[in-house]
Chain A
Amino acid sequence: MATTTAPATESHLSPEEVQRLAKPQRSSKAVIGMVAAYAGMALIVLYCIIPFYWMIVSSLRLPTMGRSTAFWPSPASIANYKGVFAGQNNFGRSLINSLIVSGTTTVLTLLFGIVAAYALARLQFKGKSAVLWVIMACSMFPLIILIPPLLKMFSSTEPFTWFPYWINTYQAVIVPGLSFGLPLAVWNLTAFFKQLPVELEQAAMVDGCTPGVAFRKVILPLAAPGVFTTAIIVFIGSWNEFLVALTFLQAADKQTATVAISKFTGTTGFDTPYGSIMAAGVIVTVPLLIAVLLFQRRIVAGLTAGGVK
């Protein structure tokens, strides 16, 4: 190991030697630790990826070979992907439904969340920690508690006969969706706004901006990455939501993608159509994965690192 040799003691060092000396010295113990750490990291990645690999492999088999345990699809086929969009599954429609529901939830959540987060991050007022607790409690309570009263209400049964019939409508999923999207958004955005130095707005106001303009022209552009990250996170949460959608969206043409997948039936009847379920699962997951992989640095590091870059 070259790095463990004793450093030369001559007064005149060649540039190569200077470079070599400038490198951190590593003992063999540290090298072993390093190798172990990388082996561990490889294990972590395999742990995370292998089940997903199995989903992809299973989706690429022939539809008749759904339960095959071969580690490689042979012959490989995209028949499952074609089958997913076949008539009775309504899968294409459900993807559009998911987009509408998640998109609307995300936009509404951001509209409300941005202003609330700005107040929580910047303004001093009485009752702030009460507000924080209310918002936090809202993200803690079990979603199931909304189901009995909302199911009665949305299906216009007594004593809610005055309420419009909302079963199989998008708003029946979007409105409860706000209850978990909003706390998440407010929390995320508050963290982002807090990381921006308050001097930025003060400078803008010295230059004659009103607080509103300072917010719009200075803070919002700087917080754009945070807003964007929040949008992705809320969108993913809403896209993956199952319980509320399962309860309120019963008609085949109104179901979101997650509900549609859970109700897939095979063309032959009793057998679970694993091939097309896996193909649909891949289709639903891949856009999210691309977004997550592209913005993983933002999603994780951006949230926790702190400070303005």
Chain B
Amino acid sequence: MATATAQPQSISTVGNDGHKHKKNALSDGQGRLAWILLAPTLIVIIVVAGIPVLLSIRESFFTANAGVDPNTGMVASGESFSGLGNFSAIFSGMDNVGGNFGTMGRFWNAFLNTTGFTLICVVLETILGVAMALIMSKAFRGRGIVRAGILVPWAIPTIVSALMWKLIFDEAGVMNRILGQQILWLADSGAGFLAVIIADVWKTAPFIGLLTLAGLQTIPGEVYEAAKVDGASAIQQFVRITLPMVKPTLVVAVLFRTLDTLRMFDLPYGMIGPGKYHVETLSIFAYQEATQQRYGPAAAYAIILFIYVLLIAFIFVKLLGADVIGDGAPKKSKKKKSEGIDPDGEKSAIAAISTMGGAH
């Protein structure tokens, strides 16, 4: 049982007077105990994430041998070091494909698709999500039902929701029937791009709404009463009070949604299919390369995506002040603790449910 490791090895020491003094593990010698408790998790993270990432970086400098080995006459196997070859190949223009943004290298096409999906989806989801949260915060009753409803899109596996939207967007499907159009949503076209955006917004806008609502509920009512006394209009209240006060929650939620959308895979893969250049994201491209045993390029693309993700996360944390790990305001926390609320716990909780957004 895991709790067995919670037993510190030496909590009692013999003092000068010969009596045993129990150390208080809540205040003394916590460092060693903490590392013992953290060791299993850190080891697992190093093994399942750290080492593969390093291997991926190594892999990105290698290319599989192709053709026939001149010495043996056998088909070449294995791979050889190619330096930055996999990265510079991005600029070679050897594999031009036609996508939403014109004809360009397949990598750049995937890169722009990923960026486009992320920008459009996150903006739409944030606007819709905040609107939903505002509506929910106005109502006294029925929140439970709405919350249950909102969790429906979240609980449906992304691949299942991809297939569900595939049926809705079918050429002879219900979306075209309602619109009275004959749009080929599932074709490799701009319509497919739009269909993926609609499906993604459907799945995650309510989730941002839920998180924003949690943030809204921490704003004390007196603030609004004071604003009313000062004659603030509803719009002023929203811009000057609601938005600034809900910002910490919202920034963390939007950060996690952004990172999630950057690695989008399931939705375009399930709805439109692999190898469709109008909806091909970096994750799909890298996956396709990896499954065709072009490990080097696959790793190179995955690493560029990783750097892209790190950059976005860095911008959010530095410029927007996203308090991701919830340790940002030690002074304020003391004040709040007296009210029985632990803001650290609260913030990390919000980060925690942000990470529940789900993989694409």
Q: Which residues of A contact B (CB under 8 A)?
A: 33-34, 36-38, 40-41, 44-45, 47-49, 51-52, 54-55, 58, 66-67, 69, 110-116, 118-126, 128-129, 131-136, 138-153, 158, 175-176, 178-180, 182-184, 186-188, 190-192, 194-195, 198, 201-202, 205, 210-212, 215-216, 220, 233, 236-237, 239-243, 247, 258, 261-262, 272, 274, 277-278, 281, 284-285, 288-289, 292-293, 296-297, 299-300, 303-304, 306-307
Contacts and interface: CB of A to CB of B under 8 A. Distances in A.
Interface stretch (B116-124, B146-154, B222-230): B146-154
Contact of B306 (A141, A176, A220, A242): A141
A192 B93 CA distance: 52
B206 A48 contact: yes
B195 to A, nearest CB: 12
Given A44-B149, A118-B37, A158-B77, 12 more contacts: A37-B138, A48-B153, A115-B5, A123-B37, A143-B283, A145-B299, A183-B355, A202-B26, A211-B26, A242-B157, A288-B157, A292-B151
A191 B157 contact: no
Interface stretch (B13-21, B48-56, B98-106, B235-243): B48-56
Interface in B306-345: 306, 309-310, 313, 324-325, 327, 340-345
A251 B37 CA distance: 38
A123 B34 CA distance: 6
B7 to A, nearest CB: 4
B197 to A, nearest CB: 14
Contacts of B24: 205
B151 A293 contact: yes
Contacts of A122: 26
Contacts of B270: 242, 262
A191 B347 CA distance: 8
Contacts of B206: 44, 47-48
B167 interface: yes
A54 B330 CA distance: 49
Given A41-B136, A281-B163, A135 B45 contact: yes
B259 interface: yes
A119 B359 contact: no
Given A126-B31, A142-B262, A284 B41 contact: no
Contact of A240 (B152, B158, B310): B158
A243 B340 contact: no
A152 B155 contact: no
B interface SS class? helix
Contacts of A272: 166
Contact of A69 (B41, B151, B174): B174
Contacts of A261: 159-160, 163
Nearest to B284: A144
Contacts of B11: 210-211
B107 interface: no
A144 B265 CA distance: 9
Contacts of A128: 34
B266 to A, nearest CB: 5
A110 B155 CA distance: 20
A267 B48 CA distance: 40
B59 interface: yes
Given A125-B35, A236-B155, A289-B152, A40 B135 contact: yes
10 contacts: A47-B202, A69-B174, A140-B309, A144-B302, A145-B306, A146-B56, A149-B52, A210-B8, A288-B156, A304-B346
A198 to B, nearest CB: 7
Given A258-B160, A261-B160, A142 B263 contact: yes
Contacts of B165: 51
Nearest to A287: B155
Given A112-B41, A119-B34, A148-B56, A52 B152 contact: yes
Contacts of A211: 6-8, 11, 25-26, 33
B164 A281 contact: yes
B180 to A, nearest CB: 12
A144 B283 contact: yes
Contacts of A180: 359
Nearest to B8: A211
Contacts of A67: 167, 170, 172-173
Given A67-B173, A142-B262, A158-B77, A247 B146 contact: no
A258 B289 CA distance: 22
B348 to A, nearest CB: 5
B358 A240 contact: yes
Contacts of A120: 34, 38
Contact of B138 (A33, A51, A115): A33
Contact of B355 (A139, A178, A293): A139
Nearest to A114: B2
Given A51-B164, A136-B324, A123 B30 contact: yes
Contact of B290 (A135, A151, A153, A241): A151
A41 B168 contact: no
A184 B157 contact: no
B44 interface: yes
Contacts of A176: 48, 52
Contacts of B136: 41, 44
Closest 5 CB pairs of A and B: A194-B345, A149-B55, A37-B138, A40-B135, A212-B7
